[in-house]
Amino acid sequence: MEKDWKRLGNFVRAARSARGLNQDELAELAGVSRATLQVIERGVGFTRIPASVFRLENTFDWGPGVVQDILAGGDPPTGERSSSASQPPMRERAFADGMPLRIAQELTEGEVVDTAVLDLSREGSGSSLVMILKRDDAENIDPEQLRRDLEVWKRAKRALHGITTESDDQ
């Protein structure tokens, strides 16, 4: 059966517009290039369905298999999937994509209180340690508890900074 790439392109464009996103914003959310998104929206055909199309399917919260249905002449769901109530919002999911599930869930729940980035690089390495202090109940926090949490946070940052600045021969 022939795949209807123009039909998919029209649905992608309509879903993007309905969410008030421009092509750059959707491309960033989905983790695809703007050029790829433009090709998909124009309805240019592919010999096989590229991974970028499935990233868009996930970003729109269409559910697995919807892209194949659209290409075969079907319609995407008119609302979000029933399981989407437990899913973080689209922008947060895009940020957490590719991370282990536990980390992705932690990053998309609660409120960030502070962050730190420590350079781990030795010559030839571009690694860094990213630390995030977050609270699940930031709205109802006791100021004294927040002060204690921030003290622990400061000690942890100092300790980790000390480790990252130690020489390799210790």
Domain annotation for the chain: domains and CATH numbers: 5-86 (1.10.260.40), 110-165 (no CATH)
d(CA 33, CA 154): 39
Q: What percentage of the chain exceeds 90 in pLDDT? A: 15
pTM of the model: 0.48
Residue 12 banded pLDDT, cuts 50, 70, 90: very high
Encoding tokens for residue 92? 């947060």
Encoding tokens for residue 13? 């464009």
The larger pLDDT score, comparing residue 70 to residue 117, is at 70
The larger pLDDT score, comparing residue 9 to residue 104, is at 9
Using the predicted structure, report yes or no on whether residue 40 has a pLDDT greater than 90.
yes
pLDDT of residue 9: 94
Mean pLDDT score across all residues of the chain: 77
d(CA 27, CA 41): 12
